[in-house]
Structure 1
Amino acid sequence: MIQLSEMLAPRPEPLWKLVKQCGVDTVVATLNGAEQDQRMFASVGKDGFVGAAADDTPWSEAAIARDIETFADHGLTTIAIEDTAPMDKVRLAQPGRDEQIDNVITQVRAMGRLGIRTLCYNWMAISSWGRTSTDTVGRGGALVTGFRASDSEGLPPLAEAGEVTEEQLWAGLQYFLDAVIPEAEDAGVRLGMHPDDPPRAIGRNVPHIMRSPDAYRRLMALKPSPSNAITFCQGNFALMGEDLPTLIREFGARDQIAFVHFRDVRGTADDFVETFHDEGQTDLPECMRAYAEIGFSGPMRPDHVPTMEGETNERPAYGTLGRLFAIGYIRGLEHAVYGKPSRRRSERAAGTQQR
């Protein structure tokens, strides 16, 4: 049984009540002022980050515990974190990376003590997910994000040509895994690597190494461990050009999927738009059947949804109405494939009585 969740920053807003009204009680959290929180929710402004006092960094146990308590006060349980301390020196194998790794270890140890078992991270150096449009008109006039390689050529580079290499990024990743995975094992925490978004060889002079299923096979071989796992972001894996249900079954058979971003796209890695969940190019019901077959029971959340009528587009891909639509769609697939919770309970009880 999946754990249908939503990604929320630990600053209360009306969406918290809305997701609970849709039956979602578990949270994938960003950390108040950490790397992803700043990159994704920059419109909040740094003055809005209430958890980042000088002596109480966002990835400390005290700060994470306070975030958990904030969610709990609203009836929400934190089951995963999708954020870390800044990591670019680690990704780029630069001086100062040991301090950044120590910060991640501090977070992982805190998560273990606080009972949070899943950490989503990425290897996108210098940048976050990239788009060339955040207001492409989609179905019924909804606004969706998109990417076109030809439109990205005029964007300012993030590094000088050749300054960052694939070998550098892989070396940084190996160093990171060697240091952090043993700590994660001790803490009982699984690290799920998110794909580069979009999964192209290079973007604005920065290579992307987590861009193919083969890259994930290599990642798993670098440090075999239950704590070295995958965030299976369906939109990005769909753009890699392989069949999603087949990949789910492959990685799932080895219990390598820790976390799922359930979303869809239309197009290729060089030219795509994001879509409503029911209109993309992927057979999402078959994906859900694949998750059931592998016995996946981890966190799953919707991701990257359209901005709908009556909403501003201040947070492209993270509008409220699109997220509620997605929650309903995923819940419907879950019940169709896994069965309604009441039926599952009855079947388990019947099985126990028969034994």
Structure 2
Amino acid sequence: MKYLKKTFRWFGPSFGVSLDEIKQIGAEGIVAACQEIPVGDVWPLENIVALKKEIESRGLEWSLVESVNIHTSIKYGLPERDAHIANYIQTLKNLAEIGIFTVCYNFMQLIDWTRTDLDYILPTGASALRYNPIAAAAFDLFILKRENAKVSYTNEHYCEASDYFNGLSTIQRKKLEEAILAGMPGSRALIALDDFKINHATVLKISKEKLQENLAYFLKAIIPEAEKIGIRMAIHPDDPPFSVFGVPRIVSNYEDIKFLLECCPSPSNGLTFCSGSLGASADNDLVKIIEDFGNRIHFIHLRNVSRQGDGSFYEADHLSGSVAMEKLMKAIVKEQVKRKQNGLGIVDIPMRPDHGHILLDDKKRHNDFYSGYSLIGRALGLAQLTGLERGIREGLAL
């Protein structure tokens, strides 16, 4: 039976990790996007072809897209959304024309992910990403200055955030701001705080139910077209999977996933299973999500998080932390067995390691790559996950 397809996310030649380096670590496929195209515009066929040729020139495969980002007009249900949906469909057709049939995307508001520390030093000396709810509250209350934000927090939480913020130097306050405004993979540019505030004020007026309605509208428009051309859409969960800065989350738990898959039933309407995003909440039963929605999982991100008692978490080693990675891998392999037996779905599901630590020689080029996307840390994760998968297959006699 086929193994999981080992893939690696690549952001282009100018972002610290080369295709030649990725090839050396044993990755089979590349996860990439036409990042130079503004969100909402059609990806021209010539740009897609050029990127595919660049990847293939190194003997690698462009396995799937991450991400074709969704314009805010679609997320917020604005009048111009239909035009942007039409552009999105044309991009999918262009991708299918050159043989790209899996597209990861997300419906997150404001930013793609939220961390409060991009250089959290572990006892080993390696560096990881971290989310601290007190630091996030301090940003919300005293940098973002969200209207009526204080009512979102208990008095104890407010006082902790106030003490934390007052204890920061000017440089530390700026570092916290930059960490949060850096949550857009694919660009080194920080989101401007003023732009963040405007966007934030807009999304605060939209309820969770309305955001779900907007997601359903999008899916009902694109999934029939995706199904015609063989495209598999794979939505990424919210990161973290709980409200931050008062913004609702709509792809954070079992019920959210059930809603989005049922609102537009189709093999083309699927999920990117991200163990780190979903695993940041102790309430999520990750094995059950795989077991119940496994036939709609089109892409897998495997990473681990260590949840702390104060609500914080940091990106742990791939095989340690709060997520029982061996149980997840066993559930994934069992899903592959089902697919092989019933002849439905891709057996060699693409998988990539995610958010590797910064360690060893990567510390010398820390500023060359995106936070979480070091070379050696992710290479270590890929090796660990490959060994885990093989061990589980041996145990199951597959």
1:326 to 381, 387, 390: 381
Name 1:336's counterpart in structure 2. 391
Q: Which residue in the other structure is 2:244 paired with?
A: 203
Q: What residue is the counterpart of 1:104 in the other structure? A: 88
Task: Note if 1:191 corresponds to 2:239.
Answer: no
Q: Is 2:60 the counterpart of 1:7?
A: no
Unaligned residue ranges in structure 1 (runs of 5+):
37-56, 345-355
Alignment match, 2:73? 89
Counterpart of 2:382 in 1: which secondary structure? helix
CA distance in 2, matches of 1:85, 1:236: 18
Moved more, 151-160 or 318-327: 151-160
* TM-score, structure 2 normalization: 0.75
Q: 1:263 aligns with which of 294, 303, 309?
A: 303
Partners of 1:264 and 1:277 within 8 A in 2: yes
Q: Shift in Å at residue 35 of structure 1?
A: 6.4
Letter in 1 for 2:366: N
- The secondary structure found in structure 1 opposite 2:9 is strand
Match of residue 280 from structure 2: 239
For the structure 1 residues 282 and 14, does the alpha-carbon distance in structure 2 shift closer, same or farther, using more than 3 Å as the test? closer
For the 8 Å contact 1:111–1:187, the answer to whether it is kept is no
Q: CA deviation at 1:85?
A: 4.5
Question: Which residue of 110, 131, 135 maps to 1:126?
Answer: 110
SS in 1 for 2:124: helix
C-alpha deviation, 1:316, in angstroms: 1.6
Letter in 1 for 2:11: A
Partner residue in 1 for 2:153: none
- Structure 1's 322 and 187: CA in aligned 2 closer, same or farther, altered over 3 A? same
1:304 aligned to 2:355? yes
Q: Does the C-alpha gap of structure 1 residues 265 and 72 become closer, same or farther in structure 2, counting only changes over 3 Å? A: same
Which is worse superposed, 282-291 or 318-327? 282-291
- Contact 1:35–1:86 (Cα < 8 Å) also in 2: no
How well do the aligned residues superpose, as a CA RMSD in angstroms?
2.3
Compute the displacement of 1:102 (Å): 1.6
**Alignment equivalent of 2:270, drawn from 229, 234, 241:** 229
Q: Does the Cα contact within 8 Å between 2:104 and 2:234 map onto a contact in 1?
A: yes
In structure 2, distance between residues paired with 1:262 and 1:35 = 28
Report 1:148-187 matches (<5 A). Answer: 148-155=132-139, 156=144, 158=197, 159-160=200-201, 162-187=204-229
The 3 A distance-change label for structure 1 pair 338 and 198 is same
Q: Secondary structure at the match of 2:35?
A: coil
- Structure 2 unaligned segments of length 5 or more: list them: 147-196, 337-346
CA contact (8 A) 1:112 1:187 kept: yes
1:353 corresponds to: none
1:245 Cα offset (Å):
2.3
Residue aligned with 1:207, SS: coil
Distance across 2 between alignment mates of 1:139 and 1:69: 42
Instruction: Report SS of the residue matched to 1:71.
Output: helix
Equivalent position SS for 1:151: helix
Q: 1:34: Cα distance to partner?
A: 4.2
**Count of residue correspondences:** 319
Is 2:72 aligned against 1:19? no
* Aligned 8 A contact 1:92 1:125 in 2: no
